[in-house]
Amino acid sequence: MKVLIVNRHIQDTVGGSEIQCDIIAKYLKRFGHRVIYGAVDSQRDSYSTPYEVYPARRLNPISLRRMIVQLDPDLVFWRYNKNSLLVAAITCRLYHNKLVFSISHVNDVKKWAYKPPNMSTDTILSQLLYAIHVFKRLLSSRINYIGYRFIDGLVSQRQDLLKCMPSHARLAKIWINNSMESTSSLPFVWKRPYIVWVANIKKVKNPTLYIKAAKELRDEPVDFLMIGKIQDPSYHYMEEHDQLPQNLYYLGIRDLNEINSILRNSLFLVHTCDPEGFSNNLIQAWLQEKPTISLFFDPDGFIERNGVGCFSKSFDMMCKHIQLLIENPGLRNEMGRRAGRLARALFSPEKNTRKQEAFLKEVLNGR
């Protein structure tokens, strides 16, 4: 197969879907397919990857058509949310290319949806600009939702999201878990026992709730570590340690291997993000045999059903769960061992990309 994967690239933007697309591209290439990665919002001319990369600095109807016509893939694997989905689906129909849409966020299955922009609302003008920005995103979401009528296949990282599909989407569809690699070659040492929070730092990730928990639990004999890129300027205060609780340390941006090492030596992971897709940091923690405490969502009920951590649902309960796992190493280790066994079985890159490969072939053969 000749597959064109469309998304931002991990060497430009480190995010969950970019990590997943890089894994899929590497393994499809390893399985003998020609893989071209259409890197949206590309920031460089060349990429150090085992697969081909097509830099797409701007994605608009003209550049999108040019990319598809020039590369002429057997199949387009679209994991760029609903952004430009309608144009992409119609273009693929016109030029006889199959298109598979990969759901990676709850907003992908909603007609009217938006991610809150990182904008100030301190003045009337800024509030007006914010409202205009939100309206444009909502309208774009609704327009691109029509793209479901023209796609050929659908992949979801969560089983429950498939049930949210529109009734007209009578197309090939499948649930395939996300994948993660568990390498941790870089050593990490910390002076005290610690728990960790990992995500890009912006409003939808709710970093202030983790900071608040650190302040509430300042008497516990552990440190609270935070890792991630600050994407919202309002959080730059975190770079000054004296602006944070004394038991909380912001470590900045770390690469995946080092994050795995940090998780491996931690007590557990705390997750405060709003419901999105299936968070990679949860899988990373489980692969390192660490339990997870999640405040706002439990993807597919995985945490509670399998006993690999705690689903808190409220801030006060999250603090109680943090105390529980700090004070009960036996329970913590049992959850962690169970998480490791499940993660190795369910989130294997080779197994899950084989499923992707089989599904893409089915779509190409017109299932």
Q: What is the pLDDT of residues 66-114, one digit of tens each?
A: 999 999 999 999 999 999 999 999 999 999 999 999 998 899 999 998 8
Q: How far apart are CA 282 and CA 290, in angstroms?
A: 9
The pLDDT value recorded for residue 122 is: 75
The pLDDT value recorded for residue 115 is: 78
Q: What angle do CA 84, 90, 95 make, to 5 degrees?
A: 125
In the predicted model, is pLDDT for residue 367 greater than 60?
no
- The rounded percent of the chain whose pLDDT value lies above 90 is 80
Q: What are the residue boundaries of the structural domains of the chain, listed by start? A: 2-179+348-364, 194-346
- Residues 230-257: what's their mean pLDDT? 93
In the predicted model, is pLDDT for residue 277 greater than 70?
yes
Task: Label residue 170 by pLDDT band (50, 70, 90).
Answer: low
In the predicted model, is pLDDT for residue 296 greater than 90?
yes
In the predicted model, is pLDDT for residue 168 greater than 60?
no
Contact 184, 202 (CB under 8 A): no
Per-residue pLDDT reduced to its tens digit, 351-362: 999 999 999 999
The pLDDT value recorded for residue 245 is: 96
In the predicted model, is pLDDT for residue 198 greater than 90?
yes
The pLDDT value recorded for residue 166 is: 64
- Residues 323-347: what's their mean pLDDT? 96
Task: Label residue 57 by pLDDT band (50, 70, 90).
Answer: confident
In the predicted model, is pLDDT for residue 54 greater than 60?
yes
The pLDDT value recorded for residue 169 is: 53
Per-residue pLDDT reduced to its tens digit, 248-261: 999 999 988 899 99
**Poorest-pLDDT segment among 25-29, 171-175, 269-273:** 171-175
Architecture in CATH for domain 194-346: 3-Layer(aba) Sandwich (3.40)
Q: Fold match between 2-179+348-364 and 194-346?
A: yes
Half-sphere exposure of 92 (CA within 13 A, CB side): 28
To which CATH superfamily is domain 2-179+348-364 assigned? Glycogen Phosphorylase B; (3.40.50.2000)
- Residues 59-69: what's their mean pLDDT? 94
Which is higher by pLDDT, 122 or 315?
A: 315
Per-residue pLDDT reduced to its tens digit, 109-139: 999 988 777 776 778 888 888 888 889 999 9
Q: How far apart are CA 235 and CA 299, in angstroms?
A: 27
* Neighbour count for residue 176 (Cβ, 10 Å): 19
Which is higher by pLDDT, 18 or 134?
A: 18
The pLDDT value recorded for residue 167 is: 60
Q: Which pTM was predicted? A: 0.91
Q: How far apart are CA 144 and CA 84, in angstroms?
A: 6
The pLDDT value recorded for residue 333 is: 96
The structure tokens listed for 334 are 């049992």
> Cβ neighbours of residue 296 under 8 Å, at least 6 residues apart?
206, 272, 273, 274, 275, 313
**Poorest-pLDDT segment among 11-15, 149-153, 175-179, 342-346:** 11-15
- The rounded percent of the chain whose pLDDT value lies above 70 is 97
Nearest CA to 343 out of 263, 265, 274 is that of 263
- What phi, psi does 5 have (nearest 5°)? -95, 125
